[in-house]
Chains A and B, each alone.
Chain A
Amino acid sequence: MSQTATDPRHLRTPPKKRLRLSWADERVRAVIWQLLIVGAVVAVVWWLVRNTQHNLEVRRIATGFGFLQREAGLPIGESLIEYTPASTYLRALTVGVLNTLKVAVIGIVLATIFGTLIGIARLSKNWLLAKIAAVYVEVIRDIPLLLQLLFWYTILQGLPAPRQALNPVAGVFLSNRGLKLPFLDWEAGHSWALLAFVAGCFFTWLYAKAMRRKQFADGQPRRVWPAAIGFLIGLPVLAWIAGGAPTGVTWPALRGFNFQGGMTVSPEYFALLIGLVTYTAGFIAEIVRAGILAVPHGQWEAAQALGLRPGVVLRQIVLPQALRVIVPPMTSQYLNLTKNSSLAVAIGYQDIVSIANTTLNQTGQAIEGIAIIMLVYLTISLSISLFMNWYNNRIALVER
């Protein structure tokens, strides 16, 4: 390196080309082309903006985001935060964003688990299992998601009425009003336990890191799981007891025409979640399969030759290598799932697209409404890709 730095030949600068103001000069041509194209784009945009301004004046539509503070008056079936039709549009849109995130986050987690299982099943030595997984993947990927969502929604609507609800397990009711589950009477003790669980996760992570450092120092493996159980289960239980050990559970019960109490999963949310998870799982299964197949066979054999047990081979040798292949396409599947959750509008689940669409129909603020939708999705997409890029860099192969 130092040799090349001191080599006099490398200190010499290449001869400067004189800029000639003629078409024959590459740099002049590049500038002219760029000016032309940027000019054309600016002209088209300017034309569109002027048309839009004119049309808005003619139709007497006021622009701006002032409408966000007005009373929305639109009913929303399910929301994670307090909402009444008297709330503002801003509040309504916030509810929509939270509903989108609710289906996207849970959908991503479930699709990853389900898809990984199917991907592994497709590689199974059991012929029947492998074939069923292959047929599943092929069928689910070749039918439009929107059609699948409508299909699931139709099935859920075709379930019996609450009075004849299906009751597979005591306390669980499945009817055309959705899924009813028993739920805890939420008290301070539960909040404390939840907080303790989060703290437990953090402590486990710290402890595992410390133990790993020690293992690197002296080569002795250390057990992490006894302490992990203490942190993850013991701590929340202690917090729960300290909070008065509340044990109240509300069971859903039939009152009149519908169920009262317990937790409700609406048919719209349920259909959307099933549709998104089964569809995305088909794609994730293929990614997982390709990732595992991408690990050279010699790696399996070498690990077995070292005398490692099959579980250890998979966990310590194959998966870390497969993950490098899996993570980038997986990121785009997560992004797809999030963007596909916008199909909720077709089955009446009130996500951000559905609420922004109602808003723009009520107020006539088409530009603002669509800008909000796009902004929300761009933000979510960007956050997911930033996180996954960070993760990908962390697990990437460190080369010389």
Chain B
Amino acid sequence: MSDIPLNTSAAGVPEAVPRHPPALTTGPVAWLRANLFSSWLNTAVTLVVAYFLVRWAMGFVDWAFINAIWSVENNQTQACRALKNSANPGACWAVITEKHRFILFGTYPYEEHWRPALVCVLFTALYVVSAMRRFWRWELAIVWALTLVLIGVLMWGGVFGLSYVPQERWGGLPITLILATFGLAFAFPLAILVALGRRSSMPAIRILCIAYVELIRGVPLISLLFMASVMFPLFLPEGVNIDKLLRAQVAVILFAGAYLAEVVRGGLQALPKGQYEAAEALGLSYWQKTGFIILPQALRLVIPPLVNTFIGFFKDTSLVLIIGIFDLLTAGKTAIVEPAWQGFGIEVYIAVSCIYFVYCFAMSRYSQNLEADLNRHRAR
């Protein structure tokens, strides 16, 4: 080692400038430098954002946890009110502790609450099973039918020793899940028919489908719900009375059908023309062609946007609040009508948002994973 001459300037090479070791490219310090402090502007942004974030987070933790009141006795909310108006305000989660059964299940008989709770579990299990690709086969339709019947039995009762509960007393989360699930279960076949009709070669059918889709998509859901609650009774023969929930359900199905139809049509259009021609060349009839060749491919193409539409539509069921149907949001809003609990809307709305968020976030994540999975062949 010592044989190597240290001074190379003799060979005509200029004397080496003392060099710094190379900058770190891995490890936490390098990560910080690359992602948070890469330039003076970046550093300034990081510091300002971090300052506001920390301040907000500290305020929120103070409000939501440290100063919060978790339960009170006998609806005595004076302590909560004093805390709310103090200089150091805190949340009154006592409203949730007290009212959570009402928010979740509405006016369903108190001692029978296990039934709507079981219904919510069944619905959720149904969604989870339907989401798993290994269960995507025709037996799933039977599982759906059986579960929905079971749910009906549990909610209404009147058989197997269950006491009868009229539909007027249902409320809360089960109503939201019923509106969303039955809405989807009926809207989806409708959407497929309408989407096929819109691409049909028969002019009368095409015009009917276009008119339906554009009319529904051009107006807000509220106007359809008003129509269901105010106008629908006028449409039916005298004496025939359909209850409000079913009328709202019909409006929701018609609404979702139009939006889903557009998504399905996207899939039908994206399918290469050769698939249609090849199916025809094989001599398949229209329904054979559609059922065996076109739909399986077209629907697969649009699964991610379909799930996104489902999410939007799950959220939109909350609009039935406006025509007075007792869904989750209405139950939350009603829970704070009682004088003792007035003014604690923020806490209730945060709690209800969490429930909606869990369902929608799960669907959104699922859709992203599925999209990545289905596009794996395109990934580089």
Contact = CB atoms under 8 A, between A and B. Distances in A.
A158 B343 contact: yes
Contacts of A51: 234-238
A345 B226 CA distance: 12
A363 to B, nearest CB: 12
Nearest to A152: B349
A48 B203 CA distance: 25
Contact of A146 (B223, B311, B321, B361): B321
A342 interface: yes
A345 B221 CA distance: 13
Interface string A323-339: 00000000000000001
A144 B204 contact: no
Contacts of A342: 220, 222-223
Contact of B345 (A150, A357, A366, A382): A150
B234 A56 contact: yes
Given A34-B202, A37-B205, A378-B215, A142 B357 contact: yes
Contact of A144 (B35, B233, B315): B315
Interface string A129-173: 100100000110111111100110011001000000000000000
Interface in B184-243: 201-205, 208, 215, 217-223, 226-227, 230-231, 233-238
A95 B350 CA distance: 34
Contacts of B237: 51, 54
B205 A52 contact: no
B319 interface: yes
B50 interface: yes
A294 interface: no
Interface stretch (B41-49, B68-76, B155-163): B41-49
Interface SS of chain A = helix
A360 B329 contact: no
Nearest to A360: B230
Contacts of B356: 142-144, 147
Interface in A324-373: 339-340, 342-343, 345-346, 353, 357, 360, 366-367, 369-370, 373
Contact of A367 (B42, B203, B221, B231): B231
Interface string A285-296: 000000000000
A232 B349 CA distance: 46
Interface residues on A, range: 35 or more
A143 B360 contact: yes
B236 to A, nearest CB: 6
B231 A366 contact: yes
Interface stretch (A17-25, A120-128, A212-220, A240-248): A120-128
Interface string A50-66: 01101110100000000
Nearest to B206: A34
B333 interface: yes
Interface SS of chain B = helix
A216 B100 CA distance: 69
Contacts of B345: 150-151, 154, 158
B369 interface: no
Given A143-B315, A143-B356, A373-B226, A38 B322 contact: no
Nearest to A37: B205
A270 B237 CA distance: 44
A41 interface: yes
Interface residues on B, range: 35 or more
B313 to A, nearest CB: 11
B222 A345 contact: yes
Contact of B53 (A132, A154, A346): A132
B67 interface: no
A254 interface: no
B318 interface: yes
A33 interface: yes
Nearest to B262: A332
A144 B329 contact: yes
B329 A126 contact: no
A128 B208 contact: no
A58 B204 contact: no
Nearest to A379: B218
B167 interface: no
B97 interface: no
Interface in B30-45: 35-36, 38, 42, 45
Interface string B362-378: 00100000000000000
A374 interface: yes
A151 B333 CA distance: 10
Contacts of B222: 342-343, 345, 353
A34 B221 CA distance: 30
B208 A41 contact: yes
Give the one of B35, B46, B343 with max A CB within 10 A: B35
Contacts of B231: 366-367, 370
Given A143-B315, A151-B349, A377 B49 contact: no
Contacts of A124: 45
B98 interface: no
Given A51-B236, A55-B238, A345-B322, A339 B219 contact: yes
Contact of A147 (B203, B219, B329): B329
A265 interface: no
B353 interface: yes
Interface string A215-232: 000000000000000000
Give the one of B46, B226, B230, B236 with max A CB within 10 A: B226
Given A127-B36, A143-B315, 12 more contacts: A30-B201, A33-B205, A51-B238, A128-B49, A142-B311, A143-B357, A145-B315, A151-B350, A366-B231, A366-B234, A370-B230, A378-B215
The 7 closest A-B pairs by CB, nearest first: A142-B360, A127-B35, A154-B345, A144-B315, A339-B220, A34-B204, A342-B220
9 contacts: A30-B202, A52-B234, A145-B315, A147-B329, A158-B343, A343-B319, A353-B223, A373-B223, A377-B220
